[in-house]
Structure 1
Amino acid sequence: MQQTRRLLEIMARLRDPDTGCPWDRQQDFASLVPYTLEEAYEVADAIERGDFTDLRNELGDLLLQVAFHSRMAEEQGLFDFEAVAAAIADKLERRHPHVFAGVDFASDTERLRYWETSKLEEQSEQTGQPPGSILEGVATALPALMEAQKLQKRAARHGFDWDSPAEVLGKVREELDELEQAVASGDTAHVREEMGDLLFVLVNLARHLDVDAETALREGNRKFRRRFRFIEACVERAGKQLADCTLAELDAFWDEAKRAGH
């Protein structure tokens, strides 16, 4: 806890209106959002690379964002870092009665349903309104793949789901057919709509295959980076520029990259 207090003291000094850092003093909740999101993604990147030294550093950067937001809230008399820690500690105990209150759940499904019900009740207490849609609480600011996956999981826990991956594959083919029809129609808005439907059902297929769609696409992006760099190296060795090569030549280099395990 000594280092936590040190961090909070440093944050207070950085925000001091007289002697603090000009940049830190100028920030507000909205201006920090891009940095908070960036730090969260850098944590994910360190984990995916298996670089645990970097993970330690990136977690520190993310913790700084929590301390920064908490300090600004404290300055406005809203809450402080201790209140943030207390809120998450209370929430963890409340949502894990099987650990802290001796409750037995018959299955993981029952446990997850309790978790979702608890979230709705918490939202109701905060707003003073009756519990709303089970989809409430899924942030619209999430990356679209993550949002789709969370929406689908919520609905599935309440019975709105296919029974097998084979059924989802059938829906994928149906949505692909509808996209082809939209493309043939030349209606740009319809194409965009059908593309969204296809992407949404592909996320559902990933979920049924126990694949995290966001992670799968990130891995696909990294694979493309490796193979395209290989293509660039091949083109450079040939004394050419990418623009000088035909698509057939570039495809041949791509196939060579695949054979080389890139």
Structure 2
Amino acid sequence: MTQQKRPWLLVTGGARGIGEALVRELSRHYHVVFTYVHSSDAAHRLANDCQQQGRHVDAVQCDGTDRVAVAALAQAWVARYGAPHALINNAGITRDGAFLGMDAEAWFAVVDNNLNAAFHWTRALLPSMVEAGSGSVVMMSSVSGLKGNAGQTSYSATKAALISFTRSLALEVARFGVRVNAIAPGIIDTDMMREMPEKARVALCRSIPMRKAGDVSDVSSMVEYLVGDQSHYVTGQCFVIDGGMTA
């Protein structure tokens, strides 16, 4: 199979952290298009690095909360490449803080970026998957969507919503050959975690039953499974990767 004929997929929020790991892992087998909003330098470094390895990776700046821009890009990509093999709704933000001190703007920013953006991308690309009779949608949720976490009411609400979104949508599109699943990572070792003070980082890891943070490869490997043929009979599920935090 030539590089140009590789199935394509979209990773939203692919410039850093888990998103970067997804781009690197999935580009071994797929043509990966990934979006970014602010991390322009990181996005282009990642795309160039992958391209130098002979991989087909495109970085595209797009705010997933802009449904007009999302629809236009989705239409252009489907016209050029056909229906996507998969959509990974990975982009998200946090605006942590006590609910009593939270303003409406902070709440809606999280809802727009974590939940509404997933709606926009899924609504824009899903019809082509249904028409093709195949495809995989993966929602990046969180253990915060499964258990309470003080200071993260908005984040937790959106991540819980993504799990319910996953289960309901999976029931709607299963008969068309499209699968929808979610992943709920716990504490994952990313650049954000490494920027924490060492004392806080150590304490955080001690709170995990396995006494360590997960690796980004733990998440990217699960995504690779969910978009691949080995998971052809798996849909409507949420896979928890948290070292035992929610056991």
TM range (shorter): under 0.3
TM-score by length of 2: 0.25
TM-score by length of 1: 0.23
Structure with the larger strand share: 2
Structure with the larger helix share: 1
